[in-house]
Copies of this chain bind each other. A is one copy, B any other.
């Protein structure tokens, strides 16, 4: 796959300064550039690299004014980062092997309907009464149970497990070995110390444009549905318990866990290794710092929280700073006490 600088500039609506006939065959970070590569400069911290980069071309913003000579050809665009992303997407689109067709052996149950231009990898399993849209990719070793619906253009990566009755929207990506719709963790304690399994009869509904990383677990609802709203992005090794609802465009980083029946608002940002307790509600636009533990509902929108238990980020930071200064505080306390004793004697 090769582009000339002039083709790229046209694609990005950019202006060329330098040789427009150079051929580009790869992308690289500006500090790791090699001849034939294209890079971008969006963050001024990286500006020093542009004067020494070996990349053949660099995408820069229209307001960039070089302080020294630059050997690379420059492509001026409105937003260097966005332009570079567009380029990568185009590159990926053209490079991707665009798998389609059916590899054998693969399994499909009765009454399941598959749309047009789908890929079904070898050893993939689709149960009964499923409805799979157009341009869907079902990679090798995927398991899809009965009565599952999957919308157009969604990609189910190798080894993902989609339990019965799951509904997945359009343009979703479910990455490798993620499990959707397994039983929620519900057990009723009995008087003899044992636990009775509470049947988990609900399902999981995933709306359009959702991405779920690898090795994550999203449990089905006890009754009703666990719901992942449109545009949600979930990272690897994340736990979403039964009857949780995640609002539109919320982002959840790796290894976080959300306990049963909790509702997370829209546009929230949940960092890595966060734990959120069950049966609470978190307002829209809440930001939760890494490793925090949230134990109660957040009613006000737009808060930044941190700590375990989580609270206002600034208060948390002040307490953390003081915790670090506890040895000093204790010394001051001792000092006061000794003066007090002296004064008691006088």
Contact = CB atoms under 8 A, between A and B. Distances in A.
Interface of A: 27-29, 32, 81-82, 85, 88-89, 91-92, 95, 97, 103, 105, 107, 121-123, 125, 128, 139-141, 143, 146, 157-159, 161, 163, 173, 175-177, 179, 182-183, 185, 187-188, 193-199, 201, 209, 211, 213-217, 219, 223-224, 231, 233, 235-237, 239, 241, 248-249, 251, 253-255, 257, 259, 266-267, 272-273, 275, 277, 290-291, 293, 295, 308-309, 311, 315, 318-320, 322-324, 326-327, 329-330, 332-333, 336-337, 339-340, 343-344
Given A125-B141, A188-B85, A92 B199 contact: yes
B324 A311 contact: yes
A309 B235 CA distance: 22
Nearest to A161: B176
Contacts of A291: 275, 293, 308
Contacts of A188: 81-82, 85
A77 B194 CA distance: 22
A27 B223 contact: yes
A207 to B, nearest CB: 12
Nearest to A339: B340
A255 B257 CA distance: 7
A81 B290 CA distance: 37
A237 B213 contact: no
Given A209-B194, A272-B275, A143 B159 contact: yes
13 contacts: A105-B105, A125-B141, A141-B161, A173-B183, A185-B253, A185-B254, A187-B211, A213-B219, A214-B217, A239-B255, A254-B259, A319-B323, A323-B326
Chain B CB within 10 Å — which of A89, A159, A194, A323 has the most?
A159
A330 B327 contact: no
Chain B CB within 10 Å — which of A89, A291, A323, A336 has the most?
A291
Contacts of A88: 198-199, 201
Contacts of A219: 213-214, 236
A322 B327 CA distance: 7
Contacts of A311: 324
Contacts of A255: 239, 255, 257, 275
Contacts of A308: 291
Given A198-B85, A199-B88, A217 B213 contact: yes
B327 A333 contact: no
Contacts of A224: 28-29, 32
A182 B157 contact: yes
A157 to B, nearest CB: 7
A91 B213 contact: no
Given A159-B161, A236-B182, A293-B290, A177 B175 contact: no
A141 B139 contact: no
A231 B195 contact: yes
Contacts of A214: 161, 179, 182, 217, 219
